[in-house]
């Protein structure tokens, strides 16, 4: 069937085919059209820098739905808050991140780039002793949590044996120093871990151990 084109051609895109003639595996790319409905998750960020929380919504697209190659990829991001102080750079950041998502390929590098941003006025500690060098870094932390949730990033967590060992070491430390702490908190005398950025490093028998990620250095 012949199709007549009445408008000026501005670009051409050829959909790739598999070797057997069937449609190739669907990948994320710039020409991918946004579906009418997307599935998303919203993350709340509350920092001591503002009285108002930030709400980060990341919408995902399902590629190759119903096949063995079905994958879930982030497609767009929105950041909302009652605080309008950061409105301009927040809008710019969401547009840039969304554009990177739609570009395709490995987008996990965004996490490290955002988490490496430091506020010249200093960072802050979250509940539980987790240190955040900046608000941008916490946005990166939320994106990382989402990518772990959809399977783009494999979580690096201590094994069950390591978790049990850390719990025993924590209890021993608290008993020795007559301390009582909540499950989501660490001893107030703990130091900052340079690996997971949590204030959870204790010293026992000359050995520094992080009660959060298990990183240890003896001396």
- pLDDT of 1: 55
- Ordered by start, the domain boundaries in the chain are 39-150, 160-218
- pLDDT of 15: 53
Q: Rg for the chain (alpha carbons), in Å?
A: 23
**Mean model confidence pLDDT for the chain:** 85
Q: Report percent pLDDT > 90 for the chain.
A: 42
Query: pLDDT tens, 107-151?
Result: 999 999 999 999 998 889 887 788 899 999 999 999 999 999 999
Is 132:117 a contact under the CB 8 Å cutoff? Answer: no
- pLDDT of 172: 84
Q: Report percent pLDDT > 70 for the chain.
A: 90
Given a cut of 60, whether residue 14 has pLDDT beyond it is no
Which stretches within the chain are classed as H helix?
A: 87-103, 109-115, 135-150, 160-177
Q: Residues 178-197: what's their mean pLDDT?
A: 80
Place of tokens 């130091």: 191
Q: Residues 29-52: what's their mean pLDDT?
A: 90
Is 50:59 a contact under the CB 8 Å cutoff? Answer: no
Given a cut of 70, whether residue 183 has pLDDT beyond it is no
Q: Residues 21-50: what's their mean pLDDT?
A: 85
Cα first-last separation, the chain = 78
Is 186:212 a contact under the CB 8 Å cutoff? Answer: yes
- pLDDT of 31: 86
In sequence order, the 6+-apart residues with CB closer than 8 A to the CB of 168 are none
**Of residues 191 and 157, which shows the higher confidence score?**
191
């Amino acid at each position: 069937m012949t199709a007549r084109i009445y408008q000026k051609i501005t670009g051409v895109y050829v959909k790739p085919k598999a070797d057997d003639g069937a449609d190739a595996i669907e990948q994320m790319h710039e020409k991918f059209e946004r579906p009418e409905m997307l599935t998303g998750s919203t993350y709340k960020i509350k920092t001591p820098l503002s009285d108002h929380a930030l709400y980060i919504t990341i919408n995902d697209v399902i590629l190759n739905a119903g096949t063995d190659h079905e994958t879930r990829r982030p497609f767009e991001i929105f950041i909302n808050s009652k605080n309008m102080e950061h409105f301009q750079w927040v809008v710019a950041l969401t547009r840039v991140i969304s554009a990177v998502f739609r570009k395709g390929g490995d987008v996990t590098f965004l996490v490290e780039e955002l988490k490496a941003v430091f506020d010249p006025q200093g960072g802050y500690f979250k509940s539980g002793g987790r240190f955040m060098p900046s608000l941008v870094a916490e946005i990166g932390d939320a994106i990382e949590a989402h990518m772990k949730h959809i399977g783009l990033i494999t979580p690096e967590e201590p094994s069950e044996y390591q978790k049990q060992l850390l719990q025993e070491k924590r209890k021993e430390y608290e008993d020795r120093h007559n301390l009582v702490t909540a499950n989501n908190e660490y001893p107030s005398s703990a130091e900052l871990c340079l690996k997971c950025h949590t204030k959870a490093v204790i010293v026992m028998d000359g050995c520094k151990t992080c009660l959060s990620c298990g990183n240890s250095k003896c001396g």
